[in-house]
């Protein structure tokens, strides 16, 4: 749009010294407002600006001489844009823009919908009078956040505004800025310290960060001289001190153990309220690459010390428990002082690695009796269950010689396994039902157990021995006789072992199902005349094999005599069935 030149500005009110900070109000009286069709620079004062307004009254503040500014130029500014109400100044439409950084990429900033045109051109509203519009712009440049607010902001690293807001929120909670950390153990240096007190003094020394070791405070301040240190507000009731007896030897390029003498008191006084402690401790024997740990402890804080060395527990005196664990060197006199008066020295590799101190004022609470009620309920349940299992296993082991296992395979096992788990055999004995039975139990009583387990009355049972044949197949051999069923389980196991060479008794339970799907007494079987056959059906189209049933047939019979029953089993015509006969 075309506007008045700089000398036509109604007023320009500086607020502060422009050498350091520019805070001005610019007012333009724009005549012939409805005929504006281009833009022109309005004023030059430290920086050049022009008023950017679209035909629908979008209004922006833009940098007027961007092409003449040096590379990387930027300027932060706060500003407001206003359309003055010429009837009542209080009705002036003003929009504030808190802060914008003007750069080559973002050289203008403002509002696309500053005021509706219907309101702007309404004569009764007073924004355009006699085709004249008055615009006011307040601009504050070179804004210094620290000078203005006494605070500084955080640079947006790219979608980090939420994190910046959170950090500012936390920073302005002074309590949060105090970095207090709870602790139960401390790592103390041994090298260069003669005892625990010297290590504590070294631990709380103030470290000056200067020279090549300056503290990096981030941008824009970078490296700064600083002091770093630790202060103890209070100590825990149980204080564990880890003694650093290892360091890296740069000359030898390896870790070495520090065996220097290092003393630790039985009573530790840290010069604080509730700072008096009593000590048991732990030691390690050996070098940095190998050794052995054991512990010297006073379980009840009495004068008696105990050495816990894995499964060995021995009583020890205080001299060995404390003084002998200081490390360092020990001197022995020469055996021949006439030739050499220099005492013989050797390094003591047995020294303390960890010290445990109990606060004296809390010793009654810490060294206390632990009852069952002090153990969490879920732990009590778990421990009780573990103990019951342990007792059960112990009882089973003690009574193992009294029991034996009997595995019972059934018709249902063959249906379930053949074609899924096995193909060339009948059943996997590891997947059938197993019974743990007293060896001296009569077999008739065992049959009652089987009846309860499978829900089939004893009168419908017929048990078969398994036998391993010359072709290494494993098949039901013959039924148990009535006399054998009166014997004990261990006697039957001996009979089975002669035939099948099995340590356990393995049986096949035959249960015949009638036409109404109820169990019926098994058919007559004569050992010298009959054969028990098991049938598998192979489907060449599906390439599947499955178990379809069993039959007791005459040994002198022909396959055609059982063809009808085979068809009933396979539910297909004989001409389309391929049966595998297992004899």
Tokens coding 338: 């006439």
d(CA 2, CA 4): 7
Sign of torsion over alpha carbons 65, 66, 70, 74: positive
What token pair was written down for 392?
Answer: 């059960």
Write the burial class of residue 34 (CB in 10 Å: 0-12 exposed, 13-18 middle, 19+ buried): exposed
Q: How many CA atoms within 13 Å lie on the side-chain side of 314?
A: 9
HSE-CB at 391 with a 13 A cutoff on CA atoms is 6
Which of 532, 524, 520 lies closest to 562 in space, CA to CA? 532
By DSSP bridging, strand 226-228 and strand 207-209 are antiparallel
Parallel, antiparallel, or unpaired: how do β-strands 403-410 and 505-510 relate?
A: parallel
| 76 has catalytic annotation | no
d(CA 518, CA 80): 97
User: By 3-state DSSP, what share of the chain in percent is helix, strand and coil, each rounded to 5?
Assistant: 25, 35, 40
> What does the block give as tokens for 200?
């504590």
Place of tokens 């504006």: 36
> Of 505, 412, 418, which is closest to residue 467 (Cα–Cα)?
505
Give the separation between CA 358 and CA 301, rounded to whole angstroms. 9
Catalytic residue selected from 56, 161, 172, 221: 161
If you compute the radius of gyration of the chain from its CA atoms, what whole number of angstroms results?
49
Q: Over the range 205-218, which residues count as b (16 or more CB within 10 Å of their CB) and which as e? A: eeeeeeeeeeeeee
Q: Which two tokens stand for residue 16?
A: 């502060």
Closest alpha carbon to 436 in 386, 505, 491, 511: 505
The tokens describing 255, both together, are 């870790």
State the Cα torsion 191-197-198-203 to the nearest 10°.
80
Q: Rounded to the nearest 10 degrees, how much is the dihedral formed by the CA atoms of 76, 78, 81, 84?
A: -140
State which H helix or E strand residue 579 sits in. strand 578-582
Provide the H-helix boundaries in 32-124.
117-120
Active site residue 161: yes
Between the CA of residue 50 and those of 69, 137, 268, what are the distances in Å?
A: 15, 11, 77
Say how far apart CA 113 and CA 123 lie, in whole Å.
Answer: 20
Whose CA is closest to 438, among 493, 394, 391? 493
Nearest Cα residue to 121 out of 190, 182, 199, 57 = 57
Question: Reduced to 3 states, what is the DSSP secondary structure of residue 30?
Answer: strand
The structure tokens listed for 110 are: 């403002």
Burial label for 406, CB within 10 Å (0-12, 13-18, 19+), is buried
Of 216, 221, 267, 292, the catalytic one is 292
- Where in the sequence numbering do the catalytic residues fall? 161, 292
């Amino acid at each position: 749009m075309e506007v008045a030149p700089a000398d036509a500005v109604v007023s320009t009110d500086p607020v502060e010294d422009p050498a350091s900070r520019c805070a001005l109000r610019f007012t333009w009286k724009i005549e012939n407002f409805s005929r504006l069709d281009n833009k022109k620079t309005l004023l030059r004062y430290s920086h050049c600006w022009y008023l950017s307004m679209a035909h629908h009254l979008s209004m922006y503040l833009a940098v007027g001489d961007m092409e003449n500014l040096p590379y990387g130029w930027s300027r932060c500014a706060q500003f407001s844009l206003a359309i003055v109400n010429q009837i009542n100044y209080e009705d002036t439409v003003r929009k504030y823009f808190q802060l914008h950084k003007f750069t080559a990429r973002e050289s203008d900033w403002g509002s696309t919908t500053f005021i509706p045109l219907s309101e702007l051109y309404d004569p009764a509203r007073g924004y355009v009078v006699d085709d004249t519009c008055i615009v006011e712009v307040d601009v504050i440049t070179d804004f210094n956040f620290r000078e203005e607010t006494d605070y500084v902001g955080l640079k947006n690293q790219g979608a980090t505004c939420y994190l910046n807001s959170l950090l500012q929120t936390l920073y302005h909670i002074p309590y949060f800025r105090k970095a207090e950390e709870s602790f139960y153990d401390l790592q103390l240096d041994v090298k260069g310290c003669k005892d625990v007190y010297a290590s504590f003094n070294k631990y709380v020394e103030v470290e000056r960060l200067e020279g090549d070791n300056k503290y990096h405070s981030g941008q824009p301040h970078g490296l700064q001289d600083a002091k770093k240190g630790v202060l103890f507000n209070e100590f825990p009731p149980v204080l564990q001190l880890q003694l650093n007896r290892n360091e890296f030897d740069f000359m030898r390029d390896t870790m070495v153990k520090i065996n220097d003498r290092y003393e630790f008191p039985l009573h530790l006084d840290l010069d604080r309220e509730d700072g008096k402690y009593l000590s048991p401790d732990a030691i390690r024997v050996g070098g940095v690459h190998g050794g052995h740990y054991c512990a010297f402890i006073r379980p009840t804080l009495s004068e008696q010390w105990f050495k816990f060395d894995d499964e060995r527990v021995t009583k020890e005196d205080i001299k060995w428990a404390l003084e002998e664990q200081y490390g360092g060197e020990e001197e022995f006199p020469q055996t021949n002082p006439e030739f050499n008066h220099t005492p013989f020295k050797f390094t003591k590799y047995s020294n303390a690695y960890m010290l445990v101190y109990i606060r004296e004022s809390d010793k009654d609470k810490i060294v206390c009796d632990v009852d069952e009620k002090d153990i969490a309920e879920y732990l009590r349940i778990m421990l009780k269950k573990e103990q019951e299992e342990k007792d059960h296993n112990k009882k089973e082991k003690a009574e193992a010689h009294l029991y034996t296992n009997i595995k019972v395979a059934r018709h249902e096992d063959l249906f379930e396994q053949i074609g899924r788990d096995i193909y060339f055999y009948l059943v996997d004995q590891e997947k059938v039902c197993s019974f743990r039975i007293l060896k001296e139990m009569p077999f008739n009583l065992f049959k009652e157990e089987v009846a309860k387990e499978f829900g089939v009355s004893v009168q419908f049972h017929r048990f078969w021995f398994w036998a391993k044949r010359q072709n290494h197949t494993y098949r039901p051999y013959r039924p148990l006789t009535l006399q054998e069923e009166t014997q004990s389980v261990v006697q039957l196991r001996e009979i089975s072992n002669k035939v099948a060479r099995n340590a356990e008794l393995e049986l096949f339970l035959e249960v015949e199902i009638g036409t109404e799907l109820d169990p019926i007494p098994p058919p007559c079987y004569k050992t010298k005349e009959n054969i028990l056959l098991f049938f598998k059906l192979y489907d060449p189209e599906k390439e599947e094999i499955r178990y379809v049933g069993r039959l007791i047939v005459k040994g002198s019979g022909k396959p055609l005599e059982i063809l009808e029953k085979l068809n009933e089993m396979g539910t297909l015509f004989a001409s389309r069935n391929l049966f595998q006969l297992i004899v």
